[in-house]
Structure 1
Amino acid sequence: MPSSSSAVPDSDRSAPSGLWRDRDFRSLWLGQTASQLGEHTSLLVLPLFAVLTLDAGAGQLGVLRAVGQAPILLLSLFVGAWVDRWRTRTVMVLSDAGRALALGAAALAGLLGWLGLPALFVVVFAVGVLSVFFDVAYQSSLVRLMRRDQLVRGNSALEGSRSAAQIGGPALGGALVSLLSASIATAAGALFFALSFLSIRRIRREESVPERSERPPHIGRRVHEGLRFVAGDTSLRTVCLASAAFQFSFAALMTVYLLFLPRELHLSGTEVGLSLAATGPGALLGSVLAARLPSRFGYGAVLLSAAALGDGAFLWVPALHGSSATTVAALLAVGFVFGAGGQLVNVTVMAVRQAVTPDGMQGRAAATITFVGMGLTPLGSLLGGYLAQEWGLRTSLLVTAAGMLLSPVVMALSPLARLGRTLPEPVEHAGPAAY
């Protein structure tokens, strides 16, 4: 249920000065780690099930990925408005429970031989819907539970858990698909979501949720306030545009990439999983660096250089041939560089977004950026499938990899690239105080 308390100032929050001595933060961190493991396992397992077991073509894989990403476009803005009025803990545990049930049902259907492409579409869509709720809620949870001076360290820890998931999830999923079956791998994803549910429900601290009025504004008005707030801030507006350019191209690239690795390079499921898992160690390094580099070199310089380095790494992949050890090593190197650069960008952008956004606008700001930044990913996935069919895998991979470089170009042309060594102050919000 929603809290009746007003937003609490930083000085009054009860979090201990040391994050790892805080039981509630540990519960959030452990739950986020398990949730990300479930997500990254599923992101590999379900497409591999379609490609290797159901013999899905490029167009069908593009549609499958688009179905999973469509909830971002359809629901993000409304979810953000809703999350701003409720405890993020409640949203996260319900989302975890739903995803565990959906993947558990898919695993059982797969073991019984009942999981065809239509059923797989339903599962992917359901998981996508619940992931939108979880992702918006977890991005808002830290700023409600922690003090302002803990945001960078807290985000670095949470993004570090995502890095661990990027290592373990694809590697585990690929190994389970190769050695056992896609159904067993799907069951592993369900188990991770169940573990996340158990951990996050242990959070006990009262959240600083804005007080609800007797007649709260219509949800359309709250959505409009979120859109207006993000559009009115130069930094957040640039984040939206840069994210949209990256996510659209990356969605297209990944559709081609998931076909390129097994069909063009003839990699096994385990090798595919390891290639994707290589982003994890890089992302882990990026999380560590994100806690240090912005305060030394400036937030803008770190954003621009990390985006250019990470996004440009995939330009080398179309030159690879065969499944030799050299090819696999090159894929691991590409994934590592991409993971390090991408994680530096993710942590830094999240800290900037949280710093400039008032507490009562956190959910809507996160959802608006998610909506604009990732709303085009279903179209990107469809485009990737179309390009793979019409242009071939190598050419399509080169074109989509080049498209990701639009993101650092957008940032270079904006004031975001000139941010200094300290986080900006929160932007004044003139909207209603009660929700």
Structure 2
Amino acid sequence: MKGTRVPELLREQAFRRYWTGQTVALVGDQIALLAIPLAAVVVLGADAAEMGWLKTAELLPALLLNLPAGAWADRQAQRRRIMIGTDLARAALLCSLPVAYALDALTLVQLYAVALGVGALTVLFDVCNVVVFTALLPTERYVQGNSLVNGSRSMAWLGGPGLGGLLVGLLSAPVALLTTGLTYLLSAERLSRIAPVEPPPAEPEPGHFTAGIRWALREPLMRSMFGATATVQFFNFIFHTLFVLYATEELGLSAGMFGAVLSVAAVGGVIGAVCSGAVVRRIGIGPSIVTGFATFTIPLMLIPLADGPTVLVLGMLFAAEFISCAGVMLVDIASGSLQMALIPDGLRSRVLGAFRTVTHGFRPLGAVAGGALGTLIGLRPALWIGTAGAVLSAVWLLGSPIARTRALPEPAPLTHPTEATTGTH
């Protein structure tokens, strides 16, 4: 895997179109990530409990829908077309918010409904996306492809919050969401112009619905990643639920200042994405995952520690986000590539659906806990619980086979999804 092959990957038209659509949509995601909670806080005066419910509405589909969505997607022949449909539907839902705002009819109930709908469509998009990605690239290029996609994510982190803060300041939070709707439309257009050869749909069989989770629980590497990711998701979403409220109300930062700090700090994500391939080659895929989890979680403890003059507070937030962004890129690229290499074609959507049910499903639980803790004990103590608890995620990995896994494994041979067995890694 030589570094000179990355530009070659971008010269391939199909992957370039896929990557371009994903890149633009990721910027839109970052704008929405800032604009929706700001619409709740600034326009509708939401409190900590209502912010918790908003985040829960956004994330609840991950708990309820990933498993059935993965089972359904594995039986479809055209996952790319499903992704296009979800992009169009997400654009329509988000564009309904500025329309309601213009008519002076925007309510928290509509914000909850849109967050729930977009969350459900995102689940369906993601379980199909892993199949399309692996259909575009051979196994040995997964790390390279994931580095490019996650590099786009880090660039979105870099520009998205600042752009979102600027748009919110100029247009108001609901109107700024028009931009996100447009990015989903462009993503749909890019996907409509590729034609990867997708694996055939899975045949109906007994246990189809639960085959993914049963396979994953028998696979030692996947079990360890389940535990680590579930832990970090729960505690990190205690943190994320309260972060905007904490920064604007307790630390006294304006929307523009807050967005600017996050944008500049996201350079750490760019560095993490650029360096991830070299790190994986140097220390191996498993140690890279362990290192990424530690680098992702430990620095965030600076945020509830932030206090004093505004310059010092901004510096602590910048340091925390800069280092954490680098760590999360290493986690996403290394662990995503390991999963893609490990999972058999006939089970990809089901295993991803099971993985996200067990792990991402902890997000709404963390959001509810964050809202409750913020109300009961205050924002700063609740953030201490969220950041310190996330550090515990690395414990799942230290004594697991992941820490000893150096190279991407070959996927287990699969003759029947319910009979899948794991190889020796």
Partner AA of 2:71 in structure 1: A
State whether structure 2 residue 191 is matched by structure 1 residue 200. Answer: yes
- Write out per-residue CA displacement over residues 262-291 of structure 1, whole angstroms, 9 at most, x where no aligned residue: 000111111222233345322221111221
Matching residue of 1:160: 151
Matching residue of 1:38: 28
Partner AA of 1:50 in structure 2: A
Partner AA of 2:411 in structure 1: P
Matching residue of 2:42: 52
- Write out per-residue CA displacement over residues 125-162 of structure 1, whole angstroms, 9 at most, x where no aligned residue: 11111111112222222111211111111111111111
CA distance in structure 2 between the aligned counterparts of 1:74 and 1:180, rounded to whole angstroms: 35
1:325 to 274, 298, 311: 311
Q: Please tell me whether the aligned partners of residues 97 and 175 of structure 2 are also in contact (alpha carbons under 8 angstroms).
A: no
CA distance in structure 2 between the aligned counterparts of 1:358 and 1:188, rounded to whole angstroms: 37
Q: Please tell me whether the aligned partners of residues 107 and 186 of structure 1 are also in contact (alpha carbons under 8 angstroms).
A: yes
Moved more, 140-149 or 268-277: 268-277
CA distance in structure 1 between the aligned counterparts of 2:98 and 2:187, rounded to whole angstroms: 18
CA distance in structure 2 between the aligned counterparts of 1:225 and 1:396, rounded to whole angstroms: 38
Moved more, 280-289 or 348-357: 280-289
CA distance in structure 2 between the aligned counterparts of 1:262 and 1:366, rounded to whole angstroms: 36
Tell me: CA distance 1:342–1:211, structure 2 relative to 1, closer, same or farther (3 Å): closer
Q: Please tell me whether the aligned partners of residues 27 and 199 of structure 1 are also in contact (alpha carbons under 8 angstroms).
A: yes
- Write out per-residue CA displacement over residues 6-31 of structure 1, whole angstroms, 9 at most, x where no aligned residue: xxxxxxxxxx9931221110111011
Q: Please tell me whether the aligned partners of residues 266 and 323 of structure 1 are also in contact (alpha carbons under 8 angstroms).
A: no
Report the Cα offset of residue 211 of structure 1: 4.8
CA distance in structure 2 between the aligned counterparts of 1:249 and 1:17, rounded to whole angstroms: 37
CA distance in structure 1 between the aligned counterparts of 2:402 and 2:261, rounded to whole angstroms: 32
2:71 to 60, 81, 105: 81
Tell me: CA distance 1:191–1:419, structure 2 relative to 1, closer, same or farther (3 Å): same
Alignment of 1:372-411 (within 5 A): 372-411=358-397
Matching residue of 2:61: 71
CA distance in structure 2 between the aligned counterparts of 1:185 and 1:272, rounded to whole angstroms: 16
Partner AA of 2:29 in structure 1: E
Report the Cα offset of residue 323 of structure 1: 6.4
State whether structure 2 residue 246 is matched by structure 1 residue 256. Answer: no
Q: Please tell me whether the aligned partners of residues 278 and 333 of structure 1 are also in contact (alpha carbons under 8 angstroms).
A: no
CA distance in structure 2 between the aligned counterparts of 1:164 and 1:143, rounded to whole angstroms: 23
Matching residue of 1:110: 101
Partner AA of 1:431 in structure 2: H
Report the Cα offset of residue 380 of structure 1: 0.5
Partner AA of 1:429 in structure 2: L
Matching residue of 1:149: 140
State whether structure 2 residue 421 is matched by structure 1 residue 431. Answer: no
Partner AA of 1:142 in structure 2: F
2:290 to 286, 295, 304: 304
Partner AA of 2:200 in structure 1: P
Q: Please tell me whether the aligned partners of residues 301 and 320 of structure 2 are also in contact (alpha carbons under 8 angstroms).
A: no
Moved more, 318-327 or 183-192: 318-327
CA distance in structure 2 between the aligned counterparts of 1:432 and 1:342, rounded to whole angstroms: 31
CA distance in structure 2 between the aligned counterparts of 1:36 and 1:17, rounded to whole angstroms: 21
CA distance in structure 1 between the aligned counterparts of 2:186 and 2:247, rounded to whole angstroms: 31
Tell me: CA distance 1:272–1:250, structure 2 relative to 1, closer, same or farther (3 Å): same
Matching residue of 2:422: none
2:162 to 162, 171, 175: 171
Q: Tell me, which stretches of 5 or more residues in structure 1 are unaligned?
A: 1-15
Alignment of 1:266-305 (within 5 A): 266-278=252-264, 280-305=266-291
Partner AA of 1:147 in structure 2: P
Report the Cα offset of residue 239 of structure 1: 0.8
- Write out per-residue CA displacement over residues 205-260 of structure 1, whole angstroms, 9 at most, x where no aligned residue: 332x22555xx336xx2221101111110001111111100000011111121211
Report the Cα offset of residue 364 of structure 1: 1.3
Count of residues paired in the alignment: 412
CA distance in structure 1 between the aligned counterparts of 2:310 and 2:55, rounded to whole angstroms: 29
CA distance in structure 2 between the aligned counterparts of 1:289 and 1:244, rounded to whole angstroms: 26
State whether structure 2 residue 205 is matched by structure 1 residue 217. Answer: yes
Report the Cα offset of residue 112 of structure 1: 2.0
Q: Please tell me whether the aligned partners of residues 140 and 366 of structure 1 are also in contact (alpha carbons under 8 angstroms).
A: no
Matching residue of 2:118: 127
Q: Please tell me whether the aligned partners of residues 284 and 405 of structure 2 are also in contact (alpha carbons under 8 angstroms).
A: yes
Report the Cα offset of residue 110 of structure 1: 1.5
Moved more, 233-242 or 79-88: 79-88
CA distance in structure 2 between the aligned counterparts of 1:54 and 1:250, rounded to whole angstroms: 25
SS at match of 1:242: helix
Alpha carbon RMSD of aligned pairs, Å?
Answer: 1.8
CA distance in structure 2 between the aligned counterparts of 1:129 and 1:322, rounded to whole angstroms: 41
- Write out per-residue CA displacement over residues 343-377 of structure 1, whole angstroms, 9 at most, x where no aligned residue: 10111001110111111111112111111111011
CA distance in structure 1 between the aligned counterparts of 2:264 and 2:347, rounded to whole angstroms: 35
2:171 to 175, 180, 195: 180
Moved more, 271-280 or 386-395: 271-280
Tell me: CA distance 1:401–1:203, structure 2 relative to 1, closer, same or farther (3 Å): same
Partner AA of 1:417 in structure 2: A
CA distance in structure 2 between the aligned counterparts of 1:432 and 1:261, rounded to whole angstroms: 47
Q: Tell me, which stretches of 5 or more residues in structure 2 are unaligned?
A: 1-5, 419-425
Matching residue of 1:5: none
1:353 to 326, 334, 339: 339
